[in-house]
Structure 1
Amino acid sequence: MTVTTAKWTIEDYHHMIAAGILSGRQVELLNGEIIDRVPEEEYHAYSSDEAGEYLIYLLGDRAKIRQAKPITLPQSSSEPEPDIAVVQRLGRDYRQHHPYPENIFWLIEYSNSSLNKDLEVKSKIYAAANISEYWVINLQTAQLIVFRVPTAEGYQSQSTLTQGEINPLAFPDVAVSIKRLIGD
């Protein structure tokens, strides 16, 4: 006997949200599957919130910083909620849709207990969506893991940093302090 898992579309997922089926549940849609999100611990919440404020200061009007809000990746039937999405400023357009891949400069996830999902599952989803840059803050080791050069199979470049500064691909003139991102 073959077991088949039902895959959900983004439209199905939105209907479930609108109908209240997922009310009170912390979930996200990844590759057509509804996945529970781990609640944020204090260190995770503090670090991602501080980093969001820091990026708002650094980027000003050049980008919108969305914290723990959905993005829509139609080609993979995914609607993840990254801790930080650095996106184009489209104003009221976001009343009609979450940011699409072409609206995203880069994404950041803060990881502790969700590290495997963020490094393995989400990195492949983001690369397949052609998101040029994806950062994972490993809260266990105080490291920034940088993914670049997306392909359909995953990112071709991965580096790990613990100090200094990094210049995002979308804003090469902006120096981001790794210490400030990690929350030290």
Structure 2
Amino acid sequence: MTVTTYKWTIERYHQAVDAGIFDDQSIELLHGDLVVMPPEREPHAYYNTEAADYIRTLLGERVKIRDAKPITLPNNSEPAPDVAIVKPLGEIYLQHHPYPEDIFWIIEYSNATLSKDLGEKKDIYAEAGIEEYWVVNLKKLELKVFRDLKDKQYTTELTINKGTVSAFAFPDVSIEVRRLIKL
């Protein structure tokens, strides 16, 4: 017996969302699959909010910070990253979530979802052309930075737990790593 799974398109997923089918569940669309997101515990929510506020103060009106809001990717994916630093395009976001070309970089905070964030999500973001992807490992209190896309894969991986780091899109802005991983 062959088992065939149903692959969702972004259009069908949006129709289901509009119909209220997923109102009682926190899900995201990854490569056409619906993935239930685990409940967010207090440390995850705290770090996520504080980091978004910190980056907002550093970059001001040069960006729009979207925390836990969807982004739309061409690979039948619509994840809701913890922090997406995107172009400040104003009301265009009434018509669609940010596309890859609108995104400067993404930050995910990981504890229970660490393997997914370092595996499947990293691959989805690279495949979609997201230039930079950061994962804060809440277990080890370290920041993993993925950048330098080539052939839809990140070729550079940095592991940092102190000092400063700059996003590729904003080399003039120093971000204190400790403000992201131990506030």
The TM tier, using the shorter chain, reads over 0.9
Distance 1:151-1:38 versus aligned 2 partners, 3 A rule: farther
Instruction: Show the counterpart of 1:84.
Output: 83
Letter in 2 for 1:8: W
Task: State the superposition RMSD in angstroms.
Answer: 0.9
Q: Aligned partners of 1:161 and 1:183: how far apart in 2?
A: 13
Query: What does the per-residue CA deviation read over 1:136-170, in whole Å, with 9 as the maximum and x for residues that have no partner?
Result: 00000000000012244531111100000001000
The residue matched to 1:14 in structure 2 has which SS?
A: helix
Q: Quote the offset at 1:25 in angstroms.
A: 0.4
Identity of aligned residues (%): 54
1:6 aligns with 2:6: yes
Letter in 1 for 2:89: L
Instruction: Say if 1:51 and 1:183, in contact at 8 Å, map to a contact too.
Output: no
Q: Quote the offset at 1:108 in angstroms.
A: 0.2
Matched length:
183
Instruction: Say if 2:128 and 2:152, in contact at 8 Å, map to a contact too.
Output: no
Instruction: Show the counterpart of 1:161.
Output: 160
Q: Which runs of 5+ in 1 are unaligned?
A: none
Instruction: Say if 1:128 and 1:150, in contact at 8 Å, map to a contact too.
Output: no
Q: Aligned partners of 2:178 and 2:103: how far apart in 1?
A: 24
Q: Which moved more, 1:38-47 or 1:147-156?
A: 147-156
Instruction: Say if 1:110 and 1:136, in contact at 8 Å, map to a contact too.
Output: yes
Q: Aligned partners of 1:108 and 1:59: how far apart in 2?
A: 15
1:25 aligns with 2:2: no
1:73 aligns with 2:44: no
Q: Aligned partners of 1:129 and 1:146: how far apart in 2?
A: 17
Question: How does the TM-score come out when normalised to structure 1?
Answer: 0.97
Instruction: Say if 1:50 and 1:183, in contact at 8 Å, map to a contact too.
Output: no
Q: Aligned partners of 1:32 and 1:154: how far apart in 2?
A: 20
Q: Quote the offset at 1:24 in angstroms.
A: 1.1
Q: Which runs of 5+ in 2 are unaligned?
A: none
Instruction: Say if 2:129 and 2:152, in contact at 8 Å, map to a contact too.
Output: no
* Deviation beyond 3 Å, 4+ runs, structure 1: none
Q: Aligned partners of 1:152 and 1:12: how far apart in 2?
A: 29
Query: What does the per-residue CA deviation read over 1:94-152, in whole Å, with 9 as the maximum and x for residues that have no partner?
Result: 00000000000000000000001100000000000111100000000000000012244
